Amino acid sequence: MTGPLDGMRVVELASEQAAWAGKLLADLGADVIVVEPPGGHPSRAYGPFLDDEPGPERSLYWWNYNTSKRSVVLDLDDTEDATRFRGLAGDADIVLEGEPTGRLAALGLDHEQQRADHPELIWVSVTPFGRNTSRTDDPATDLTLLAGGGPVWNCGYDDHTIPPVRGGGNQAFHIASAFAAMSVLTAILQRDVSGRGQFIDVSMHAAANVTTESGSFDWLVAKSTVIRQTGRHALSFVSQESQVRCVDGRYVNTGFPPRHAKDFENLRNWVDGLGLRDQCDEIVLLDLAVERGGVSLAALREDPLVTEIYGAGRSTLVFLAEHLTPEEFFVGAQQRGIAVGAVWSPEEAFANEHFVARGFPVEVEHEDIGRTITYPGAPFQAPKSPWRISRRPPHVAEHQAEVFGTGV
Amino acid sequence: MAPTLPTSGSSALSHLRICDLTGQLAGAGATKFLAAFGAQVIRVEDPVRQGSWDILRGVPPYVDERRGVNLGGAFNNHNVEKLGITIDLRQERGKELLRKLVAVSDAVTENFAAGVFARMGFPYDELQRLKEDIVYVSNSGFGASGPYSSFRTWGPIVQAICGLTFSSGLPDLPPAGWGFSYMDHMGANYMAVAILAGLIHRNRTGEGQWIDMGCTEAGLSLCGPDLLDYTVNGRPLRRAGQPNSNRSHAPAMAPHNIYAAAGDDEWIAIACRDDDDWARLAAVIDEPWAKDARYATIDGRLGSQDALDAQMEAWTKTRDRHSTAERIRAAGVPASVVASPEDRIDRDPGTSEFGLWPIAHHTEIGDVRVDGIPVHMSETDWSIEHGSPCLGEHTDGVLRDVLGLGDDEIASLHEDKVV
């Protein structure tokens, strides 16, 4: 069983912004050769490290973004190596790079200079502001891209004396890389028809800008500006809190309150089952909700009793969350048809029985250190062309000889 | 005679047809990308409930005082360049129509809760019977198998479960999370990858398949370095002082934070990537504390990060966010205002010059700006000209031009309220 990109060759110039796109393509079966500068790419010096000891082969950051790839080292400022790169790129299906705009052209190595000889080549460039805007050469990082591109505006706390918050995990790179991967796949399908490749210009800033949901479309449509709010959607008005602290100090998201009679009945029976009826102030309203056949959202503003009943549903969810652990609340509510979530840390989710049962954690042999490492696995299950980590992340220049027939 | 079906300005994927039952953003965003690149995306909606399996149909924002299922701005934003038909799948004749559509499609896409589409009469076996090489992509919260497969989600629930809410916040405060459905966006992106990869595999081998995507797993795959720190070093992210997502751990950077600027609730983000960035920023700041020798190296700055942040903010909070960010950037150091929608949509050449906000013409709403696609292709670029379909806007055209039905049969389907 092979991946959908089996047989395709990708040459990736190592970068932070496109590394995840390269990993996606590699885990989908492409032969991705990551080209690093002498000494290895700087992200090999990013923590965390294996056993907390720094080293180019010990960066878990590097590991995460470079599974299934092969590594070679080329000094693009060196004439011989530049020629090697030109040959490598010319033989590839796809070149993926996040170089500063203009650098490859100055070296005689960019797509413009190769397209005539290789019209079938797909070349994707991931840069902070794209290739052709007046901001093209502005310096940027994940933080400044997410701040200037919109996501940060939406994120933070009800208390606006606290700074807005950048979502964790270098997501500007992930967003841009997702669009790079989607575009590459589109270009492959196009090439299947036309036989021709093309140049793809990905702007990280643009990618962040179209990843803000109502932050953008409320303005585009109605010139309305959303307001950040703790643990829930930024909206143009202040909404009710939906994040609740559980009995053990961890949190849940209580989602939308119930509306249907069946949901209210389930909620009431859950309270009763836990023996909490006497402590639940809202129990009478829950009974009433069941009797009345639920609530209609349309009647919310018209009928004060409906408003009260609707509020009782939300209050009961808060009440239950405060008496339970996140796991008890999440599973209990979901089993009763109410969509809520536990606010888990990544490792809490990763260790959970559901993801284990689906085979999400995958074991990767690191024969070099005599250990098997558990990695996050398939983002989707495609039985005929599976996502797969085909090899551990490469050492610096590990595949120099097999790619070029010579050492570094 | 119904009007001819509109076609896209992009030829990238114009050879592909998608039978699309997605909704909201996590599904609709995936097929929007394909439609912008020219795929013929035929959205199937329910005439009985006025298309309401997509809760965004007919909800705010609106361009003016008009209200109705065709006038919602969010729905329009996510469904540009698609065709829209209605089919009552409760009726046998409705099911038969969908079967015909599947038989002439390359892919079928949906993001109902797991199992719902099968219960409507369209399990994968049936889809495969109708079109042997069909690529079927389902996108649900927890995927189609496993103990939680029946659980339901929307963006904030996915984010809570997968760790993205937890990892976004400041120390000693509750999780701030993502103030929008980030995983609807990234779920849509992953779903687009799944569809496109499935079609590439089909082109190579002739094989179709059912691709089962669980959005929570897609979300977990975006937390990789934190997960490896746990599986390799046994270090959980849930620990004292963490998370602090406005700081940077990989790579280590300081200063690196969001600081108050002059004015009410105005902020500026500044990041020094290395010692050279700091030296240039210190020159812009031009105050004695910035020349403190302990700040000259990354280790020194990291070791005194709280003090450095306090001094940085004392400096930024009396200054205008826009001009300060510009001065810092001019010195070659990454800085940005925390941009409001107006800042980044109407005042930023970085988006307007990229052509990021195309105007789509919607049959009832009129002309309205929408999110564009953040990439450009040199040969077959995307095109967004048509707004989202009104409910059933292309029913007759699709029945006639795609399914080859005659006028009498179409009239009869209308009469019996099948469409």
Distance from CA of B405 to the nearest CA of A (A): 29
Q: What is the DSSP letter of B247?
A: S
More confident position, A407 or B380: B380
* Cis ω for the linkage preceding B61 (within 30 of 0): yes
What confidence score (pLDDT) does residue B3 get?
A: 59
Cβ contact A358–B145 (<8 Å): yes
Chain A interface mutation, best of B149, B338, B382, highest count of A Cβ atoms under 10 Å: B338
Of B160, B357, B371, the CB nearest to A343: B160
Cβ contact A385–B209 (<8 Å): yes
Q: How confident is the model at residue A298 (pLDDT cuts 50, 70, 90)?
A: confident
For the cut 90, the answer to whether the pLDDT of residue B1 exceeds it is no
What confidence score (pLDDT) does residue B52 get?
A: 86
Euclidean distance between CA atoms A57 and A366, whole angstroms: 11
What confidence score (pLDDT) does residue A303 get?
A: 86
Question: Which uninterrupted H or E stretch holds A169?
Answer: none
First to last CA, chain A: 34
* Cis ω for the linkage preceding A42 (within 30 of 0): no
Q: Compute the average pLDDT of residues B140-157.
A: 96
Of B196, B231, B357, the CB nearest to A374: B231
Euclidean distance between CA atoms B206 and B200, whole angstroms: 10
For the cut 80, the answer to whether the pLDDT of residue B192 exceeds it is yes
Q: What residue in A sits closest to B237 (Cα-Cα)?
A: A345
Q: What is the pLDDT of residues B394-404, one digit of tens each?
A: 999 999 999 99
Q: How confident is the model at residue A304 (pLDDT cuts 50, 70, 90)?
A: confident
Of A6, A45, A219, the CB nearest to B345: A219
Q: What whole-number percentage of chain B has pLDDT above 70?
A: 99
Q: Compute the average pLDDT of residues B81-106.
A: 98
Chain A interface mutation, best of B378, B382, B388, highest count of A Cβ atoms under 10 Å: B378
Distance from CA of B187 to the nearest CA of A (A): 9
Closest residue by Cα to residue B78 from B103, B55, B102? B55
Burial class (CB in 10 A: 0-12, 13-18, 19+), B108: buried
What confidence score (pLDDT) does residue B302 get?
A: 97
Q: Compute the average pLDDT of residues A358-380.
A: 98
Q: What is the pLDDT of residues A172-194, one digit of tens each?
A: 999 999 999 999 999 999 999 99
Of A46, A220, A340, the CB nearest to B369: A220
Q: How confident is the model at residue A276 (pLDDT cuts 50, 70, 90)?
A: very high
In degrees, to the nearest 5, what angle opens at C-alpha A192 toward C-alphas A188 and A194? Answer: 105
Of A60, A141, A166, the CB nearest to B232: A60
Are residues A251 and A243 in contact, defined by beta-carbon separation less than 8 angstroms? yes
Closest residue by Cα to residue A90 from A117, A52, A60? A117
What confidence score (pLDDT) does residue B217 get?
A: 98
Mean pLDDT across chain B, nearest whole number?
97
Chain B interface mutation, best of A217, A228, A336, A363, highest count of B Cβ atoms under 10 Å: A217
Quick check: helix, strand or coil at residue B110? strand
For the cut 60, the answer to whether the pLDDT of residue B2 exceeds it is no
Q: What is the pLDDT of residues A18-42, one digit of tens each?
A: 999 999 999 999 999 999 999 999 9
For the cut 90, the answer to whether the pLDDT of residue A342 exceeds it is yes
Q: What is the pLDDT of residues A201-228, one digit of tens each?
A: 999 999 999 999 999 999 999 999 999 9
For the cut 70, the answer to whether the pLDDT of residue B364 exceeds it is yes
For the cut 80, the answer to whether the pLDDT of residue A408 exceeds it is no
Contacts of B217 in chain A (CB under 8 A): 355, 358, 360, 377-380
For the cut 70, the answer to whether the pLDDT of residue A332 exceeds it is yes
Q: How confident is the model at residue B365 (pLDDT cuts 50, 70, 90)?
A: very high
What confidence score (pLDDT) does residue B305 get?
A: 97
Are residues B343 and B337 in contact, defined by beta-carbon separation less than 8 angstroms? yes
For the cut 60, the answer to whether the pLDDT of residue A376 exceeds it is yes
Give every strand in the sheet of A69-73, ordered side by side: A69-73, A31-36, A9-13, A94-97, A122-127, A199-203, B375-377
Q: What is the pLDDT of residues A108-152, one digit of tens each?
A: 999 988 889 999 999 999 999 999 999 999 999 999 999 999 999
